[in-house]
Structure 1
Amino acid sequence: MTVRPIRLLVGFMLLSLLSCSDENAFPTQKKPKEANDPKIIRFVTINSPNTYFVNENENLAGLEYELATRFVKSLGPDYQFKFIVVDSFSKIIPTLLSNKADIAAADISVTTERKNIVDYSESYHEVQQYLAFNRDHNKRPKNLAALDGHIIAVPAGTSFAERIRKLSKQHPGLVWDEIENTSSEQMLESLANEEIDYTIADSHLLAVMQYYYPSINTAFTVGEPEKIAWAMARGRNPDLLKQVNAYFKHIKQDGTLRSLLDRYHGNTKRLKTIDVKAFLMRTRTLLPKYTRLFKEAQDITDVDWRLIAAISYQESHWDTFSTSPTNVRGLMMLTEQTSDMMNVQDRLDPKQSIPAGAKFFLWMKDRFPERIPEPDRTYFALAAYNNGVGHIEDARVIAQRLGLNPDSWADVKTTLLKLNDPQYYLNAKHGYCSCGAPIIYTESIRSYYQILLKHLPSHSPDLEPYKIAVN
């Protein structure tokens, strides 16, 4: 994914209830009709890396955004969508109940309390709540009893608040603060900045935020896992609910949901805390030496300089003298054959290595059909940079034979692992492959790129990754 975690701006707190038509984001979208038109599906959401944001290419993105737009498209060409973005989770359900929105698509947990006022769709994800703490500021608490007297801060109106209220009946010493007009992302940022001691957050968001703030750690699980689903005002539109449920059933069966979950969460468990800390340190000490060259490589190839830098880090850890036992050398770890193809005279010269590596990546990307959507085509190119196009194409063929999607990285990375099984590699054009390596390689680069998107600006000064999505 190149997606990515969210940079919450000061302006975020100034948002009240903003109606966001995607007419501006996509000029070909028809001009919205009246708000009560049944063919306009109104979604209420919030800005977060799991829901709705503007990505590094200045396009709207987010798991909920993609699910919603695909749902409306499935209804037919006459249907349109409209997004209402609120500034805190506590406003999601009120917006829904006041009939300002038809569907709440905002990473909503299915809870008993909410079932009294909303109808839930089929669930499409499962998460686990964790108590989170700052490893640099506090010791890991063993259990809830160890928190007696300490304040647990949670966003108001969330399932975290519901959960802690229930737990307080069993643990009367618990002290918590339900914070209005905030989000889980802001709570975790406050935790990283040592402004609060503890919070509760969902596993998938924690995995993302730990890439940006490695001081954030998990202590223990809080309660049982929860389902994530869309919500609608109870009994208001049963026909729409049936359409939503049919849609989720379909995308579970055809692999679309699996691909989308991988796009936004597939790489979040790749790096360990020590890896993230080392990477962040080198972004401060080594990366500035080569930033200009990475940006110049972007000018040549139109590949985001931060992606080129992430490839380089995975290859050499930005060590210009890096040399492998097989004589692959330099910042981009070029082979002699690749160097000859790219007219590189000295692989240890960053001025030659970086643009050559970027062009070679682009050359790899061009080996895959243009019909493959992004970011999957980029992921295939990354895997090919590490292991060659041949084995990746073999895995795509196997995926197709198994009824999977050969254009989906989420599916193909499962069939790459089959290339060490004679049942598959004996009939593969390029034979045996220990293809766990290109998967680890690709997922690691996705993670490094995601971190760079959070912390470093794009080459174009007017673009801001993860800025608030307001149209």
Structure 2
Amino acid sequence: MKKALVGVLVFFVISFFGFQCTFIDNRETQEKYWENPVQIDLDEIVKRGYLRAIVDNSSTSYYIYRGRRMGYEFELLKNLANELGVRLHLIIKSDIQEAFYLLNKGKADVIAMNLEITEPRQKLAKFSYPLGQMGTVLVQRKDKKPLNDFWELQDKVIHIRKDAVYKAQLDNIQEAYGVNFSIQEEKGDNESFIQKVINKEIDYTVVDRVEAMVSSTYYDNLDINLEISPKSDVAWAVRKNAPQLEAAINEWIEKKNKAGLINTLFAKYFQNSKNSFFRNNSPFSSVAGNTISPYDNIIKKGAESLGWDWRLLASLVYKESGFDTTATSYAGAVGLLQLMPVTLERFGVENPNDPLESLMGGVNYLKYLDKFWRERIPEANERIKVMLASYNIGHGHVEDAWKLTLKYGGNPQSWESIARFLQLKNDPKYFRDPVVKSGYAKGHLAVNYVDDILILYESYRVLIDP
């Protein structure tokens, strides 16, 4: 009995101190993650071909509306990426601390969240030139006798976004005015806290004034009159050891401020109450609903037949037709999946204007491509990328690229290797090679096509439930 008791005690001590040491190690690692940021600057970003930016999912920052990617930060970032000559990859996060962690660990290149520049944050990253100014307000309901000054905050509970500047602002009010109230920090974005106030789950929150104004234009019961903090500069964050990227972003900000782009987009997303209402209430918005298009049900049916995630097939449909059943390309392709007349006939489509029939014709074509590539590329994810390229440019051109990959010692089961040679099919050295049967092709367009679909799919995957 005594031995057993001693054993239990030893186990407890080891477990406790082992856990405690692990916790301390992890905490110290977390606390120091910004001291030695990963070295990635603009030259490497341009070389790899894409910029990784962290954004919020909100009706002003970034969201999906009728299948299309939209948002203030999204449009700015897309313009920046075009200026830098790279593609844009978005990372959707609401946790600000995690965003700084990912930035310093080299998992992202810029945090595009309109962050207030504070001393603690300047230890974590460098900040761009200001993109504007934002103040903060208390959000409350009018039907609960709105508070009009700081003294009335006594004994109240205010729920705010974790790691935002709001806690420091509220702490300053408590110290300056001698009032005591409870501050509850929780994960989430500003719109989710506003919605909780509207739904009477909480009574008070603090958010940026412009976001509060957007919501107050279509929720009559919101009061946003009590200012918590006046306007201050907001900016984007980059790693402290990325001076080239910082300089390029600052040059771009100066240029776009002079051109009026930033003000135009600010007005579009923060000052147009009609657009804000639709963004926040449409079932086809990722902010309000969980629907991508009016054809989600038949897309799900087609995806089940393929064995695909339905959001991947939806990404292909959007890329092809924008969910317009009457869309016709310059070459005569029609329907949701833009099939040519000969392909329509081959795969049994009699009425290309019928959404279900048109979609299933495209699905049957994809099944054909799946069968064509299955033995050569057994891994499903790699095969899907090759299938998408084949859908765009024709499987003959992609097969040429596959043969070139094989001939020149690449990996014929890797889309990355195949894509490299597909892009080279505009070079006589390669499109005149004896193994090539389909000749010249603008293969880079097909590679970009695949990238576009996969990038859109990633957004659908994150923002829309399965």
Q: Which structure shows the higher helix fraction?
A: 2
More relative contact order in 1 or in 2 (CA 8 Å, sep 6+)? 1
With normalisation by structure 1, the TM-score equals 0.48
